[in-house]
């Protein structure tokens, strides 16, 4: 976004004057990185809140660029405008001012910074320093994202107990659920306090699928990193790989061919449709309408088989690579997709009519799992969770890249803020993705699909955001002195949307938690980096 009088960049520079410095080696220039003194880092948070910006991500860095030092970076966003705020942290005092007084997502971001980097947030009496992602049976001084940490070592286990939030009173009892579940979902622990069947409080405990992904990037080449990015959250492999590749291509100055850009968008929309189909069926199944799940999973399976036939992989893994894509659409591919979409649309619309007229579904889904617009905004939610609660956020529209700057999506924003709204946003997005796919196929350019990746300059960084099917995905890449990967910071949509699930279940009954949970359908793996 070009600088304007009211841009976030100008707001900060005019407020802090000479104490705020624009960092060099940051790409693209339209996403500025501004260095502020550590003691003014919290002030930046207040300033961004007043400017209507949300805290999109916050992470720590261990650098050996100009002598070893730590840093904390915060990414703020306002519609399609992104800005990075940075404060340097000396080795002898690894603390930084907390942003959590004004930005609720900072509670979880800063717990993760504390757990994995060993940088302590200060200045908030209610700061939560319990381990997040790193579990309590790890040594307290083991910081996995520090350069000094040996990822190959076997981590000793120590005695430790997680301190759960408690709700007490006559008639209040606890219900522990997980981390191992009866189904095939990933592990996560949910601790409810309830009275009768009414949920008073829910606290989540995640981290059971912590794989050390951000640390692993440091041992890989830039090209190898794309394969790892595609495995951060398997059901979002296209979106994660695309975000990583866009950040990398910007950092290296690589401009992909138009055909590759169009095919990436085709894959991204196919991933969106497939996952939304599965979710709608699963939401209906959680209130006893199993017929719907069978039918929607059948439609999803047809799409996945189409992916295999068209691009050689059911989930399109490793198809988005640095410099373009690894599998082209053959001459008869467009016609095959057109036929597939026609059949899908006919069956889909028939099922939506059944869904819309079913009184039982209507009774169970409406007014269930309310997430008010105010709460959604305060928590920094993204994706269909945000759009179902009155928040008009979609990277494809507000921060478009080719071909979305030419074939524009339609944003659907609902205000009922319930399970029904989160399901219906998915329905509308499937409809729009079908329209987008037809537009993409009709304008698909000819030409190359893969070009060589240019060299990455040393001591540089880049940020990219892509609208995956769950919502906005953010990647920040930083190169070291030899042009290698120094840091890859990732923020999956689940990192902020998990917070919203805890709030949406208040005043619901315990039997409605499964459908509330499914209407969010957040990634454990994408959160547990």
Given a cut of 90, whether residue 184 has pLDDT beyond it is no
Q: What is the C-alpha separation between 417 and 423, in angstroms, rounded?
A: 11
pLDDT by residue (tens digit) across 331-387? 999 999 999 999 999 999 999 999 999 999 999 999 999 999 999 999 999 999 999
What is the pLDDT averaged over residues 194-213? 92
For the cut 70, the answer to whether the pLDDT of residue 126 exceeds it is no
Query: How many other CB atoms are found less than 10 A from the CB of residue 259?
Result: 19
pLDDT in tens, 467-520: 999 999 999 999 999 999 999 999 999 999 999 999 999 999 999 999 999 999
Q: Identify the H or E element spanning 224.
A: helix 222-229
Residues 420-462 pLDDT 10s: 999 999 999 999 999 999 999 999 999 999 999 999 999 999 9
Task: Report pLDDT digits (tens) over 7-48.
Answer: 999 999 999 988 889 888 878 888 999 999 999 999 999 999
Indicate the CATH number for domain 213-527. 1.10.645.10
Which of 379, 385, 439, 388 shows the shortest CA–CA distance to 409? 439
**Contact present, 445 and 258 (Cβ < 8 Å):** yes
Contacts of 203 (CB under 8 A, 6+ apart): 164, 165, 190, 191, 502
State pTM to two decimals: 0.95
Whole-angstrom CA distances from 194 to 189, 509, 522 are 16, 9, 23
Mean pLDDT of the chain: 93
Under a CB-based contact definition with an 8 Å cutoff, are residues 238 and 405 in contact?
no
Q: What per-residue confidence (pLDDT) applies to 29?
A: 81
pLDDT band at 162 (very low <50, low <70, confident <90, very high): confident
Q: What is the DSSP string of 49-70?
A: HHTT-EEEEEEEEEE-SSSSEE
Prior bond of 28 cis (ω within 30°): yes
Q: Label each residue of 308-372 as H, E or C.
A: HHHHCCCCCCCCEECCEECCCCCCCHHHHHHHHHHHHHHHHHHHHHHHHHCHHHHHHHCCCCCCC
- Confidence grade of residue 125 (pLDDT, cut at 50, 70, 90): low
Sketch the domain layout of the chain as residue ranges: 8-122, 213-527
Cβ 276 vs Cβ 263: under 8 Å: no
- Tell me how far the alpha carbon of residue 85 is from its chain's centroid: 20
With a CB cutoff of 8 Å and minimum separation 6, the contacts of 261 are 401, 402, 403
Homologous superfamily (CATH) of 8-122 is NADH:ubiquinone oxidoreductase Nqo5 subunit (3.30.460.80)
């Amino acid at each position: 976004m070009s600088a304007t009088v009211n841009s976030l960049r100008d707001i900060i520079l005019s407020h802090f004057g000479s104490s705020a410095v624009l960092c060099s080696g940051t790409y693209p220039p339209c996403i500025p990185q501004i260095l502020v003194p550590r003691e003014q880092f919290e002030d930046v948070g207040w300033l961004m809140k007043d400017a209507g910006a949300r805290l999109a991500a916050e992470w720590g860095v261990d650098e050996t660029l100009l002598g070893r030092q730590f840093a904390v970076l915060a990414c703020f966003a306002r519609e399609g405008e992104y800005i990075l705020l940075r404060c340097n942290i000396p080795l002898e005092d690894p603390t930084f001012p907390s942003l959590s007084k004004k930005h609720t997502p900072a509670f979880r971001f800063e717990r993760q910074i504390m757990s994995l980097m060993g940088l302590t947030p200060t200045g908030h009496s209610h700061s939560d320093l319990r381990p997040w992602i790193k579990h309590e049976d790890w040594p307290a001084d083991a910081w996995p994202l520090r350069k000094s940490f040996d990822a190959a070592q076997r981590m000793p286990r120590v005695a430790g107990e997680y301190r759960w939030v408690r709700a007490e009173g006559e008639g209040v009892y606890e219900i522990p659920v997980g981390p191992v579940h009866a189904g095939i979902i990933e592990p996560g622990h949910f601790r409810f306090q309830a009275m009768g069947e009414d949920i008073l409080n829910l606290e989540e405990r995640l981290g059971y699928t912590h794989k050390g992904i951000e640390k692993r990037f440091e041992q890989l080449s830039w090209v190898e990193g794309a394969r790892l990015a595609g495995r951060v959250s398997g059901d979002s492999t296209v979106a994660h790989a695309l975000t990583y590749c866009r950040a990398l291509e910007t950092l290296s100055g690589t401009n992909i061919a138009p055909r590759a850009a169009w095919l990436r968008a085709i894959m991204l929309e196919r991933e969106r449709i497939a996952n939304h189909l599965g979710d709608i069926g699963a939401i209906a199944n959680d209130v006893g309408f199993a017929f719907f799940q069978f039918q929607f999973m059948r439609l999803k399976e047809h799409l996945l088989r189409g992916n295999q036939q068209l691009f050689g992989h059911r989930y399109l893994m490793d198809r988005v690579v640095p410099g373009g894509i690894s599998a082209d659409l053959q001459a008869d591919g467009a016609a095959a997709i057109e036929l597939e979409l026609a059949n899908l649309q006919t069956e889909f619309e028939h099922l939506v009519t059944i869904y819309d007229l079913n009184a039982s579904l209507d009774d169970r889904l409406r007014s269930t799992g309310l997430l008010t617009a105010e709460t959604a905004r305060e928590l920094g939610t993204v994706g269909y969770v945000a759009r179902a609660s009155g928040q008009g956020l979609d990277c494809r529209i507000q921060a478009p890249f080719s071909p979305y700057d030419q074939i524009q999506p339609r944003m659907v924003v609902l205000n009922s803020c319930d399970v029904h709204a989160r399901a219906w946003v998915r329905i509308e997005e499937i409809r729009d993705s079908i329209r987008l796919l037809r537009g993409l196929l009709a304008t698909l350019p000819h030409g190359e699909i893969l070009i060589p990746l240019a060299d990455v300059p040393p001591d540089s960084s880049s940020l990219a955001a892509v609208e995956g099917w769950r919502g906005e995905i953010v990647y920040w890449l930083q190169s070291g002195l030899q042009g290698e990967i120094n840091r890859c910071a990732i923020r999956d949509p689940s990192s902020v949307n998990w917070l919203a699930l805890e709030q949406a279940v208040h005043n619901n009954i315990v039997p409605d938690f499964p459908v509330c949970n499914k209407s969010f359908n957040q990634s454990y793996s994408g959160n547990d980096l």
